[in-house]
């Protein structure tokens, strides 16, 4: 069940976390965004990862809204295979130029924001309103694809960046 009670609370958290993440990203020079942060992932890779998970959330919602039953997380992977899925995402986007990754990240965020804004409270907060959410609600999925994911990326990148500029 979502920790949010209203759509506005969810949107406020999305905007807050996105703003904090963008402020951090703005402080990092372009060349440094290609340097490993942790586990073989650069800032660019963090952005590509968040972008793809955002796209997946959009696909799940759109397919469910149209009456379908989306494969979650994908046709190929189950929830207990996230390590493999994330490795595939990394491999798929590792050679994508930074500017393209940044543009896609911004575009996907905008689409997610509009999606959330366009949903009803019933869609967001009714447990199992959409079958793909299992025992959860849509707000929890959308939070995971936005604010929660931005926050986790920001924490990893911020720790790395502070250590990098301290040397």
For residues 25-63, one letter each, b for 16 or more C-beta atoms within 10 angstroms of the residue's C-beta and e for the rest, the string is beebeeeebeeebeeebbbbbbbbbbbbbbbbbbebbeb
For residues 98-109, one letter each, b for 16 or more C-beta atoms within 10 angstroms of the residue's C-beta and e for the rest, the string is beebbebbeebb
Residue 19 has a pLDDT of 98
Q: Indicate the helix (H) or strand (E) that contains 38.
A: strand 36-38
**Mean pLDDT confidence for 101-108:** 98
State how far the Cα of 128 lies from the Cα of 53, in Å rounded to an integer.
20
Superfamily (CATH H level) for 7-166: dinb family like domain (1.20.120.450)
Residue 167: which pLDDT band, with cuts at 50, 70 and 90?
A: confident
Residue 1 has a pLDDT of 64
State how far the Cα of 167 lies from the Cα of 1, in Å rounded to an integer.
43
**Mean pLDDT confidence for 127-135:** 93
Residue 16: which pLDDT band, with cuts at 50, 70 and 90?
A: very high
- Other CB atoms closer than 10 Å to residue 141's CB: what's the count? 21
């Amino acid at each position: 069940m979502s920790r949010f009670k209203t759509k506005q609370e969810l949107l406020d958290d999305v905007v807050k976390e996105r703003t904090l993440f963008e402020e951090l990203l703005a402080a990092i020079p372009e060349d440094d965004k290609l340097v490993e942060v942790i586990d073989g992932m650069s800032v660019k890779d963090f952005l590509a990862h968040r972008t793809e998970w955002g796209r997946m959330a959009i696909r799940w919602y759109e397919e469910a809204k149209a009456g379908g039953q989306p494969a979650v997380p994908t046709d190929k992977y189950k929830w207990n295979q996230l390590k493999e899925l994330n490795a595939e995402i990394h491999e798929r986007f590792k050679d994508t130029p930074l500017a393209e990754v940044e543009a896609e990240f911004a575009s996907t965020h905008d689409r997610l924001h509009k999606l959330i804004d366009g949903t009803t409270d019933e869609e967001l907060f009714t447990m199992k309103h959409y079958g793909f959410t299992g025992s959860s609600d849509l707000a929890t999925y959308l939070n995971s694809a936005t604010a929660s994911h931005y926050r986790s990326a920001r924490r990893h990148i911020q720790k790395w960046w502070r250590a990098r500029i301290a040397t």
